[in-house]
A = this chain, B = another copy of it.
Amino acid sequence: MAVSVLTYDTAHPGDTSDLLAKLSGFDVSRIKKLALLAKTEGNAELNDYSREYALQSATIALRAHGGDALVHRTIFLFSTGCEGAITPFGYLFIDYADAEGTQPINDRALTIGCARSRALLPHEIGRVMHADMVAATVNSAMADTGVSRDDVALVIVKTPVAGASSSSSSSTESRITSGQSKAIGALGAGIALGEVDRSRIKGFDEDPLLYTRRAMVFSGTEFESVEVLVLANKPGASGNLSVHTGFLKDLLDADAIRRTFAAAGCKIDGGTVTDSDRVAAVLLKVGVAADGRLRGRRTTIKSSHIDMDKQVRAAVSGVIGSILGTTRSFISANTVHQAPPGGGLCACIIAGER
């Protein structure tokens, strides 16, 4: 049993040919869990359906490949927005029962834990019990792979937003925003990780000093339940991968990214990672300060017709791309309660000896 992390490309959001090609190297019956983390390339506005299209296409592909049983063993996380130096692509996490076994090369190795809550009722969304449900789902995901919170490097959370179509009322007051849904997910993850004191939670997206440090949270109107993917380094696990986390003070903080890779055992020379072939995955989530300022100066990130998340993703694609020499990074924005305001999180999965 070991976790593999593969990368697949997409010619468009509905393209699953490379996903299936990569899957074809694995015996379906020995796939214990799958997780798809994909960046899709829609316009990332209210009328973007690229994520739903990609999700439907991937589900069709997996069902054709391994039946409903494979679909049920899979967690899908599709995030929209590939602005700048970003290739639309997906990471495929495969927890696989390998007959020969993979000898551990470090004392710990990457494992993944998955969990899904029951569907939330519309009136539950946006309340403290929503955060509690996130926390419980994170705990289930840790239990799923037998790790403690200290083993965890990254928690990926999907959390629902009550969409317009799910409500019979025309009231907008009772709905929560995507940002609030992410805030709830972050605080819930923080409770489970021991990084957020539940008693300090007064509301969502209110206290910027209350944040978790090892979570990336995504929201969507198409979700009904909370889903969690935990990435952890488990003592004694087999496999040659390990996962590492670092913290960016702002979106230009290349030094923090380099330190994260260095701590993960990579070689850095002249500002770039020189053994980037060992990098199995990199995930970044970075935000921007409330006043839109960066390094003490005004930017137009929050005062443009282009949504701030798009500008952040594009700028970060330059930072990470110039360090790793690649356009395949999973970059997202909006770090509400997932970092101090303007800060961010970098996670990487590295193959080989640390």
Contact = CB atoms under 8 A, between A and B. Distances in A.
Interface of A: 9, 11-14, 41-43, 45-50, 52-53, 56-57, 82-89, 164-165, 170-172, 251-255, 258, 268, 270-272, 289-291, 293-295, 297-301, 303-306, 310-312, 314-319, 321-323, 325-328
Given A258-B270, A268-B270, 19 more contacts: A9-B297, A11-B298, A41-B300, A45-B304, A46-B303, A84-B314, A85-B299, A252-B318, A252-B321, A254-B322, A255-B270, A255-B272, A258-B271, A270-B271, A271-B271, A306-B306, A306-B310, A318-B322, A319-B319
Contacts of A254: 271-272, 322-323
Contacts of A321: 252, 294-295, 315, 318-319
A294 B85 contact: yes
A302 B295 CA distance: 30
A206 B52 CA distance: 34
A49 B45 contact: no
B319 A322 contact: yes
Contact of A82 (B45, B255, B299, B328): B299
A287 to B, nearest CB: 13
Given A306-B83, A319-B318, A13 B251 contact: no
